Amino acid sequence: MSLDEIFEHFVLHSQIFKDRERLLPDYVPEELPHRKQQIIALARILAPALAGSRPSNVFIYGLTGTGKTAVTKHVVRKLSEKAQEKVVFAYVNCRQNDTSYRVMAELARELGVKVPFTGLATSEVYKRFAEALDRRGRMMVAVLDEVDHLVKKNGDDVLYFLTRINEQLSRSRLSLIGITNDLKFTEFLDSRVKSSLCEEELVFPPYTAKELEDILQQRAAEAFQDGVLAPEVIPACAAIAAKQNGDCRLALDLLLKAADLAEREGASKVTLEHVKQAQREIEKNVTVDVIKSMPLHVKMVLIAVYLLEKEGARNLTTGMIYNKYMEIAKMLGMDPVTQRRVSDIINELDMAGIVNARVVSLGRYGRTKVIRLSASLKSIEEGLQEDLFMLGVTELVAR
Ligand SMILES: Nc1ncnc2c1ncn2[C@@H]1O[C@H](COP(=O)(O)OP(=O)(O)OP(=O)(O)O)[C@@H](O)[C@H]1O
Ligand SMILES: [Mg+2]
């Protein structure tokens, strides 16, 4: 088959999908089952904007994948249809825009003010934004999603400015919706910022397995051809995600990956086996990402464990790992960290589920810690690949 034929085939003859888009993370469905309470609460808080009075600021929090972004976008979309020109809405993702400058530039853009990518003093951007907003003579509702990223990187200056801006406006008003999945986030805030941002609070509890099933059923009805899902598929995806703090994103991701696997195999049905395979892939990807983002010395300790196991060593002790780590450090011409630090690193790797460290009793010789890899070799190799290559130790691993 030519590439064109493959693509054509996918579009025209998918045995599995009716509309694959409906399972993608950014798609906001018309219906959001099990979030009625949060939708109504948020709508009630924001409704005064329609009558020209400033809604309270809202702070929304809940674990990842509990529908915070979806619900907020849904309510804002409905409200902006009603409000038409009366209210200006802005949505900024503060993970993608994680500096004061960029957040303010995004908000200003929503008012039709162009701010260059860099070059202005942040105070100048603040000023231009406030002037533009007042000139508009409108209510503005600004959503700052994943706001913890901004504050951790840049402090709470923006929030301080935005929560007090109404004092300097005469013709306009601003309301804020802050969203985070970091339940400890408010500890980072100045108490004045905190009390104004949290005029109202909305909590999104984790979804239960049953709730996730309902959500998946509804998205599946839009996304799949009739009858292609084996009956165990949705309950399995829901059960796995329910164990991971009720994360709906994970549930959808599993369902989509399972279906993609089935499609790629040319199977006519998505089965439990596809879900299991999808789960393994997702877990592997998470491990790979964790490893890729580790600091160099942590990676070197992991390489030490990896090489020892490859050489057939078992019941690894901290001492053995430290010696191997020293060899690697020497080979790379790096200053090694202390054995104490290596021992801490082993604990960190244990917490991250990459190695398993267990204290065993040696009878009258006391106790010792034995360590082994717990993530799959494949994910470890993939996670370390780039560094090994860069450091020129690929041959070591291949050995
Ligand atoms: N009640 C629901 N009905 C249908 N889909 C939902 C529902 N809740 C969440 N989803 C879907 O699950 C995925 C994750 O939801 P969302 O992005 O809103 O999570 P979040 O709470 O913002 O997570 P994070 O804190 O990681 O940003 C999205 O694809 C969203 O459309
Ligand atoms: Mg979100």
Residue 153 has pLDDT above 80, yes or no: yes
Nearest atom, ligand 1, residue 247 CA: 14
Q: Report the pLDDT averaged over residues 256-260.
A: 96
Assess whether the C-beta atom of 23 lies below 6 angstroms from ligand 1.
no
pLDDT digits (tens, 9 = 90+) for 284-342: 888 999 999 999 999 999 999 999 998 999 999 999 999 999 999 998 888 999 999 99
Residue 371 has pLDDT above 90, yes or no: yes
The domain locations on the chain are 36-204, 208-290, 294-398
Burial class (CB in 10 A: 0-12, 13-18, 19+), 396: middle
Q: Report the pLDDT averaged over residues 368-388.
A: 88
Architecture of domain 294-398: Orthogonal Bundle (1.10)
393 — pLDDT class (breaks 50, 70, 90)? low
Q: Which residue among 202, 248, 256 is best mutated to probe the pocket of ligand 1, counting the most ligand atoms within 8 A of its Cβ?
A: 248
> Which pLDDT value is given to residue 222?
93
> Which pLDDT value is given to residue 303?
93
> Which pLDDT value is given to residue 398?
47
pLDDT digits (tens, 9 = 90+) for 14-34: 889 999 999 998 898 989 999
- Quote the ligand 1 centre to 64 CA distance (angstroms): 8
- Quote the ligand 1 centre to 238 CA distance (angstroms): 14
Assess whether the C-beta atom of 64 lies below 6 angstroms from ligand 1.
yes
| CATH fold of the domain at 36-204 | Rossmann fold (3.40.50)
Burial class (CB in 10 A: 0-12, 13-18, 19+), 303: buried
Q: Which residue among 63, 69, 202 is best mutated to probe the pocket of ligand 1, counting the most ligand atoms within 8 A of its Cβ?
A: 69
> Which pLDDT value is given to residue 390?
62
| CATH fold of the domain at 208-290 | Helicase, Ruva Protein; domain 3 (1.10.8)
- Quote the ligand 2 centre to 235 CA distance (angstroms): 24
Q: Which residue among 22, 71, 208, 249 is best mutated to probe the pocket of ligand 1, counting the most ligand atoms within 8 A of its Cβ?
A: 249
Q: Report the pLDDT averaged over residues 95-100.
A: 92
Assess whether the C-beta atom of 96 lies below 6 angstroms from ligand 1.
no
Joined tokens for residue 209: 């397995």
Q: Which helix (H) or strand (E) holds 55?
A: none
pLDDT digits (tens, 9 = 90+) for 280-296: 999 888 899 999 999 99
